[in-house]
């Protein structure tokens, strides 16, 4: 019996790539079933005590790695981290995963994804949240409460349908008070250079909330804002960026939002790196280290908006950074 | 703004667990949508070059950690590894993931799971393969070829329907020649102590293949046994245990079967541990180290039957063992 060796596997693989010689490998040409080409519906369900959580992906988008993606690390160092993490160099694939929380008394959505308008633009790469909600058996009209972590487009644009109508028509919309005050302040907006990303974000946030008649309930951190869901300030990414702890009995999960953002695993491994998307890099880093030190010590489960789907992992300390330990997929609930 | 601290999070969580004080946390009692309690369909699709692979879970089963689970490590050491891996002590959760390969010319199933008879017995924990195939849009009658890695029940019992009929009625069934010779040899069977697990495995393998009229095609390792699929000997777990390399263009994935088995992550981290399920522990360890050294060096993707779903990961060397680096979930294909 031939045992596997490096040469053996490579030879075998080369053979398989070559033209087929007569053998059981070249049966008569029979049409197999056609490839299906469709991914499973992107939701994943789990319990936190008596609370049912459904992680629902909004998709993932791959773009060329921008220059200056990390403010305090060279592109070569970023690419080296990509390679070490089994990712392709010079490409950036960011996933997006809002969650739905059924507390028993309330059906709560935390963050809303890019919105269905983006689905067409990206050929289905992102903007999947509403269709995946439907696949998960969740009716948008049954949602009682929507909680927003911060005012970036990948978290708020999905508050609207493709024709800019309220997507969660019967829900109360909860937004961080600090975040609301910052983005709705005309003096702050006036300081943003016209045409800058910051300026665009002011305009986008105002567009989205205006389409909802600016009907929001502002919430403060440190408070339970829905049954079993407590707001926890985690500033830096934006001024009012807020995370949420879901708690039931002895069980608990930290819905971190963008404590690590974009291609989050890079910033898990390198918590001192300041991504260009963090408005205040030093504050974001301090928040990240404080929360991850706590999560590692406490073995606190984290639902990370930008972790790979289903975006549920522990963090452990590893050298100067951290490492994600994804929770094993449970095929039942 | 309150910033997060360890105390802050714990206090907030304690507050959320306590009786609700009047606040926005205690809205009027409105009935939310009921919890859904159903997991998404357990399949995951990806491409290997031009080949479409669908990983389809058969489920996962949790049992008490048996005494003697690892022959050469104490139960305390096993439990310590569980805790280090964020798993519960004294429990063993093993996942099972067969794969379907559409080569363009052939629709191929590699391993068949426990079979639907087990579904009822375990209240749906395992035996999901056939129903998840249907959810994945794969018709069992369209399968051209079934490849078996070895003759344990979690790999062969799903060759039959619940009423012991052929589950892949139109498929050619390929089995490792070495494995067939071992389990069908009456002298080998006579050596197995009556009532032992080994004896039970002889009886089960003969039961399954007899129900299929013993109509099998025996294959040798080192050969391409279906278009783009090459058999690679990986003995130790059983005498004829065989892995498979799927190859298309420059892309390649090793479908390892049980090179690490049962709660595989324990044996990824501790390749020198001999699980009670490995018939020849020393040979299984040698196979494991040889294949994982090669996979780590080559950055060869592995589809692991007993990895957490979708069971697709790279391995990297880490200290005296290895570590899985799961491939990020792709919400499209």
> pLDDT (tens digit, 9 = 90+) per residue, B146-171?
999 999 999 999 999 999 999 999 99
Q: Above pLDDT 90, what percent of chain A?
A: 89
Nearest Cα of chain B lies from the Cα of A195 at a distance, in angstroms, of 30
Chain A segment 190-219 residues within 8 A of B by beta carbon are: 217, 219
pLDDT digits (tens, 9 = 90+) for B104-136: 999 999 999 999 999 999 999 999 999 999 999
- Which chain B positions have a beta carbon within 8 Å of A329's beta carbon? 42, 57, 60, 95, 308-310
CA distances to A268, A290, B178 from A78, rounded to whole Å, are: 13, 23, 48
> Do A232 and B43 count as a contact with CB atoms less than 8 A apart?
no
pLDDT digits (tens, 9 = 90+) for A221-247: 999 999 999 999 999 999 999 999 999
Indicate whether A205 pLDDT > 50. Answer: yes
Q: Does B60 touch chain A (CB under 8 A)?
A: yes
> Do A247 and B43 count as a contact with CB atoms less than 8 A apart?
no
**pLDDT greater at residue A14 or residue B177:** B177
Token code pair at residue A119: 């689905």
> Do B23 and A223 count as a contact with CB atoms less than 8 A apart?
yes
Find out if CATH 3.60.15.10 is the number for domain B42-326: yes
Least confident of A273-287, A288-302, B21-35: B21-35
Q: Decide the pairing of beta strands A99-102 and A91-96.
A: unpaired
pLDDT digits (tens, 9 = 90+) for B246-291: 999 999 999 999 999 999 999 999 999 999 999 999 999 999 999 9
A27 — pLDDT class (breaks 50, 70, 90): very low
The whole-angstrom separation of Cα A161 and Cα A60 is: 19
> Do B86 and A228 count as a contact with CB atoms less than 8 A apart?
no
Average pLDDT over residues A31-56: 93
| Cα nearest neighbour of A284 on chain B | B3
> Do B3 and A290 count as a contact with CB atoms less than 8 A apart?
yes
In terms of C-beta density within 10 A (0-12 exposed, 13-18 middle, 19 or more buried), how is residue A31 classed?
Answer: exposed
Mean pLDDT of all residues in chain A?
Answer: 92
Quick one: pLDDT at residue A11? 43
- Which chain B positions have a beta carbon within 8 Å of A140's beta carbon? none
Strands (E), chain B: 43-48, 51-56, 59-64, 91-96, 99-102, 107-110, 145-147, 172-176, 217-219, 224-226, 229-233, 242-248, 251-257, 301-304, 312-318, 321-326
Indicate whether B188 pLDDT > 50. Answer: yes
Q: Tokens 């200290």 appear where?
A: B319
Quick one: pLDDT at residue B31? 53
Q: Does A22 touch chain B (CB under 8 A)?
A: no
Interface test with A, best of B5, B9, B104, B306 (most A CBs within 10 A): B9
Indicate whether B25 pLDDT > 60. Answer: no
As a 3-state breakdown, chain A gives helix, strand, coil percent values, each rounded to 5, of 30, 25, 45
In terms of C-beta density within 10 A (0-12 exposed, 13-18 middle, 19 or more buried), how is residue B163 classed?
Answer: exposed
Average pLDDT over residues A284-307: 98
> Do B326 and A332 count as a contact with CB atoms less than 8 A apart?
no
> Do A54 and B36 count as a contact with CB atoms less than 8 A apart?
yes
Quick one: pLDDT at residue A32? 77
Q: Tokens 């948008």 appear where?
A: A140
Indicate whether A10 pLDDT > 50. Answer: no
Contact call for residues A157 and A148 (beta carbons, < 8 A): no
> Do A331 and B309 count as a contact with CB atoms less than 8 A apart?
yes
Q: Does A68 touch chain B (CB under 8 A)?
A: no
Average pLDDT over residues A104-130: 95
Q: Does B168 touch chain A (CB under 8 A)?
A: no
Indicate whether A110 pLDDT > 60. Answer: yes
The whole-angstrom separation of Cα A150 and Cα B286 is: 52
pLDDT digits (tens, 9 = 90+) for B46-92: 999 999 999 999 999 999 999 999 999 999 999 999 999 999 999 99
A32 beta partners: none
Quick one: pLDDT at residue B30? 53
Residues 6+ apart with CB under 8 A from B280: B235, B236, B239
Indicate whether A37 pLDDT > 70. Answer: yes
Average pLDDT over residues A109-128: 95
Residues 6+ apart with CB under 8 A from B63: B91, B92, B94
Q: Decide the pairing of beta strands A107-110 and B99-102.
A: unpaired
Q: DSSP label at A42?
A: -
CB pairs under 8 A between A and B: 315
Domain range list for chain A: 42-326
> Do B32 and A2 count as a contact with CB atoms less than 8 A apart?
no
Contact call for residues A263 and A278 (beta carbons, < 8 A): no
Q: Does B236 touch chain A (CB under 8 A)?
A: no
| Cα nearest neighbour of B309 on chain A | A329
CB-closest option in A5, A86, A330 to B39: A330
CB-closest option in B36, B107, B309 to A45: B36
The whole-angstrom separation of Cα A153 and Cα A94 is: 14
Contact call for residues A102 and B33 (beta carbons, < 8 A): yes
Least confident of A12-21, A23-32, B254-263: A12-21
Least confident of A35-39, A256-260, B203-207: A35-39
| Cα nearest neighbour of A220 on chain B | B1
């Amino acid at each position: 019996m031939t045992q596997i060796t490096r040469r053996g596997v490579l030879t075998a693989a080369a053979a398989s790539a070559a033209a087929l010689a007569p053998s059981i490998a070249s049966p008569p040409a029979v049409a197999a079933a056609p490839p299906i080409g469709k991914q499973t519906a992107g939701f994943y369900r789990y319990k936190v005590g008596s609370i049912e959580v459904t992680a629902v992906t909004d998709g993932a988008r791959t773009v060329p790695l921008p220059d200056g993606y990390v403010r305090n690390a060279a592109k070569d160092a970023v690419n080296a981290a990509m390679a070490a993490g089994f990712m392709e160099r010079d490409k950036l694939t960011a996933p997006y995963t809002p969650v739905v929380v059924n507390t028993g008394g309330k059906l709560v959505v935390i963050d809303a994804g890019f919105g269905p308008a983006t689905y067409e633009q990206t050929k289905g790469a992102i903007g999947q949240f509403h269709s995946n909600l439907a696949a998960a058996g969740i009716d948008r009209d049954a949602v009682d409460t929507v909680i927003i972590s911060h005012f970036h487009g990948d978290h708020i644009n999905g508050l609207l349908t493709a024709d800019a109508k309220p997507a969660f028509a019967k829900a109360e919309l909860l937004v961080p008070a600090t975040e609301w005050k910052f983005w709705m302040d005309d003096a702050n907006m006036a300081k943003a250079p016209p045409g800058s990303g910051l300026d665009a974000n002011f305009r986008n946030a105002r567009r989205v909330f205006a389409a909802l008649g600016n009907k929001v309930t502002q919430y403060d951190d440190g408070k339970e804002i829905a049954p079993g869901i407590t707001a926890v300030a985690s500033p830096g990414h934006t001024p009012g960026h807020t995370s949420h702890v879901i708690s039931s009995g002895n069980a608990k999960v930290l819905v971190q939002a963008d404590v690590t953002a974009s291609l989050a695993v890079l910033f898990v491994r390198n918590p001192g790196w300041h991504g260009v998307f963090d408005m205040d890099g030093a504050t974001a880093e301090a928040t990240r280290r404080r929360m991850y030190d706590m999560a590692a010590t406490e073995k606190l489960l984290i639902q990370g908006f930008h972790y790979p789907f289903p975006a549920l992992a522990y963090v452990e300390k590893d050298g100067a950074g951290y490492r994600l330990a994804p929770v094993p997929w449970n095929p039942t609930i």
